[in-house]
Amino acid sequence: MATPLPRDSDRTLNRSMLIKLVVMAAVMFGFGFALVPLYRAICSITGANSLVKRDVTAAGARNTQVDLTRTVSVEFDANARGALAFVPEQNAFDVHPGAVTVVKYRVTNGQNRTVRAQAIPSFAPALAGQYFEKIECFCFTQQTLAPHETREMPVVFFVDPKLPRDVKTITLSYTFFELGGPAGETVNAGKGGKAAATPTAPAGA
């Protein structure tokens, strides 16, 4: 028995279905490409994936060139209030402006109780604070130290290549003092070394 030939209505229906499938496939293909910029836009707005964003911003966009034609001597100083022992692991070293560098400080709580403390930076000469870029720093938040705990705390920084050429030496000094308020408070201890925090009475006062 011969197979009947498809009618015109069947051909039209098949052609319409084929067109719909092609259009749907094209839309899905385009949506897959759009997911990447859409994801980046959402991350930018919400702050998601902030670790990657911070690396790109600080160490990438703001540190794309290292000035190998000059060096700056960076000296490290430490002061502590109360029973805290606080010292830098290195007193000084030379850096090229623009090069990311890490220095570590060590703090010891010599008391038999938990201590909350905050480090505040300052610079000499004062204008150097405008060109000293801290990417990571223990001074950004309060530190909670268990009784007799010793902790190493890094500072990740670079010196802005725009630093005036007549500045040959920068002294970074931290004052580490005990606080009486709740842990976890943050201060504005950015590149200028200025801090703003809610005053709290020293513990035990």
Averaged over successive runs of 10 residues, the pLDDT of the chain (205 residues) comes to 57 72 63 44 40 40 75 94 87 95 94 92 95 94 94 95 96 89 44 41 35
In whole angstroms, what is the distance from residue 141 CA to residue 138 CA? 6
pLDDT computed for residue 19 by the predictor: 75
Asked, for residue 154, whether it belongs to a domain, the answer is yes
Asked, for residue 153, whether it belongs to a domain, the answer is yes
Asked, for residue 20, whether it belongs to a domain, the answer is no
CATH code of residue 130: 2.60.370.10
In whole angstroms, what is the distance from residue 81 CA to residue 78 CA? 10
Backbone angles phi, psi at 178, to 5 degrees: -80, 145
Residue 8 burial (CB count, 10 A): 7
CA dist 42 → 28, 89, 97 (Å): 20, 41, 34
pLDDT computed for residue 180 by the predictor: 72
Asked, for residue 122, whether it belongs to a domain, the answer is yes
pLDDT computed for residue 49 by the predictor: 39
How many domains does the chain contain in total?
A: 1
pLDDT computed for residue 101 by the predictor: 94
Give the predicted TM-score (pTM) of the model: 0.58
Domain that holds residue 103: 72-179
Asked, for residue 36, whether it belongs to a domain, the answer is no
pLDDT computed for residue 65 by the predictor: 87
Give the burial string for 82-98 (b: 16+ CB within 10 Å, else e): eebebebeeeeeebbbb
Asked, for residue 97, whether it belongs to a domain, the answer is yes
Asked, for residue 94, whether it belongs to a domain, the answer is yes
Asked, for residue 89, whether it belongs to a domain, the answer is yes
pLDDT computed for residue 123 by the predictor: 96
